[in-house]
Chains A and B, each alone.
Chain A
Amino acid sequence: VDVGTASVAEIGAAYRSGELSPVEVVEHCLARIEERDGEINAWITVLGDQAVAAAREAERALAGGDDRGPLHGIPFALKDNVDTATIETTCASRILRGNVPSEDADVAARLREAGAILLGKTNLLEFAYGIVHPDFGQCNNPLDTGRTSGGSSSGSCAAVADGMVPLAVGTDTGGSIRVPAAYCGVAGLKPTYDLVSRRGVFPLSWSLDHVGPIARTAADASLLLRAMAGERLPAVTAFGGADAVRGLRIGVVGEHLGDDLRPGVRSAFDRALGDLERAGATLAESSVRSLAYAEDALFPVFGPEAVAVHETWMRSRPEDYAPMTRTQLELGLLVPATDYVRAQRYRALLRSEFDAVFRDVDAVAAPTVAWVAPAEDPAIAGGDGAIEARRTGPYNLTGHPAVSVSCGPAEDGLPAGLQFAGPRMSDLRLLDVAAAYEEVRS
């Protein structure tokens, strides 16, 4: 079993057959981090001895017949805006340096209960708000270290892509799981709104924030989601392999195919649609007319909500933010209350149009981002930032689940993201579809 590429199920099977032990896997991950993270910068905190000790405990438990399920003994990472008891949680900001929570976030506690081993906390854009803080630096893309891994869940996606850890948790307010997943060639799900508890996760925008799984494959992401969401998930479905695509009705939303798509990304998307058709899916043209306003509605929601979160520090410590984080926060002051409400009303319109589409198709597919990984992350408050989130942000507005899996290669030998979105609470089904695509990808 190659720990750097094996699935969680394969690692788990190797634990139970005695071929591998949790200690060996954790030590492999720590060695990989030691070897590679100087170049990538995916981690803010690495829990060396603590993780090895937890691995020993998992090893003893498994040997003693105390088997907690598929994540028992599997290492995972948490984005560093997720609270961890006694472990610093910085949000990649100078403002929270030295912040040591007294309690685990719900999602951290759930994963520990499932027997997973916390390996450390990963880098992100400051407060998940779209820009790198110079104290923490950019997380570089493992596929091309001259480029960004994307944001804001940059470290979580890069660490998984580079084989430093098999599973990671991210957060997504406008695309912050799916964009870096696309850039790094991994699978990342923004679940249905509130499917995964946000308690103990530092907020960016309460009504848009989602906590979700990141993994090398959609099948692994599905295992992680089940542990993260627990009883909030509907009855568990079995993974159907490539069969999950047969007979599936997939809508291709015309508004997601604009001229902003880079040619290589469009070609990769068209090849992916061809793969899905050959595997038995039926494609249909779909339209969501109000998508024309989606990127206009995103900032009027999260801008003011972010100000409400940060107001005290904006007054007392403005210089401690990265300059563009401060600028973006201050822009949130400039959205009139009537336009915040207008944007919230627009969300109802957009959601009802997608709900109508999902009465005709099982899922919709689109490229996740218009381009492959750029050198640096574009600021949210600018033209490129809006384009980057154009195909991901709408699902934060509506609360529908959306997963990005790797397709391509698209341009410069780098992958693009293929995004599937579906009805609320269809998360496991979407991950099945994404996993089936990974099997039939040409």
Chain B
Amino acid sequence: VSEPAADTVATLAAAAGMPLSPERCEELAPLYEMLRHSIEHLRSADLGDLEPLGPGSAPHRRDG
């Protein structure tokens, strides 16, 4: 488990308002690494100007 991943877990959990113990951060670090890779892949998607609509709404792109 890389030390920086556990540190990042601690920072993000605290930022979300729920600080975790150093032991929990260490335990979560490997899964967080998988999540981080996955989110980085999502960040590479070209979303154009799509708005974050819910699944009940029609898809919509802004004109001009």
A residues lining the B interface (CB < 8 Å) = 193-194, 207-208, 290, 293, 295-297, 299-300, 307, 311, 314-315, 327, 330-331, 333-336, 339, 341-349, 351-352, 355, 381-383, 386, 397-399
Contact = CB atoms under 8 A, between A and B. Distances in A.
B1 interface: no
Interface of B: 9, 12-13, 16, 18, 20, 24, 27-28, 31-32, 34-35, 38-39, 41-43, 45, 47-48, 50-56, 59-60
A297 to B, nearest CB: 6
A194 B56 CA distance: 7
A372 to B, nearest CB: 25
Contact of A293 (B27, B41, B54): B41
A334 B9 contact: yes
B47 A333 contact: no
B55 A382 contact: no
A397 B55 CA distance: 7
Given A315-B18, A330-B20, A351-B59, A381 B12 contact: no
B38 A296 contact: yes
Contacts of B55: 193, 207-208, 347, 351, 397-399
A346 B47 CA distance: 6
Contact of B52 (A194, A314, A341, A386): A341
Contacts of B41: 293, 296
Q: Which of B45, B50, B53, B55 has the most CB of A within 10 A?
A: B55
Given A296-B41, A327-B27, A348 B51 contact: yes
B28 A331 contact: yes
A378 to B, nearest CB: 13
8 contacts: A333-B12, A333-B13, A334-B9, A342-B45, A345-B50, A345-B51, A348-B53, A399-B56
A383 B24 CA distance: 21
Contacts of B28: 327, 330-331, 334
Contact of A331 (B31, B51, B56): B31
Nearest to A329: B18
B56 A344 contact: no
B60 A348 contact: yes
Given A334-B12, A348-B59, 14 more contacts: A296-B38, A296-B42, A307-B16, A307-B18, A331-B32, A333-B12, A333-B16, A339-B39, A344-B52, A344-B53, A346-B45, A349-B48, A352-B50, A399-B55
B18 A333 contact: yes
Given A296-B42, A331-B28, A382 B34 contact: yes
A382 B52 contact: no
Nearest to B18: A333
A293 B45 contact: yes
A393 to B, nearest CB: 13
A207 B38 contact: no
B42 A300 contact: yes
A311 B13 CA distance: 12
A94 B13 CA distance: 25
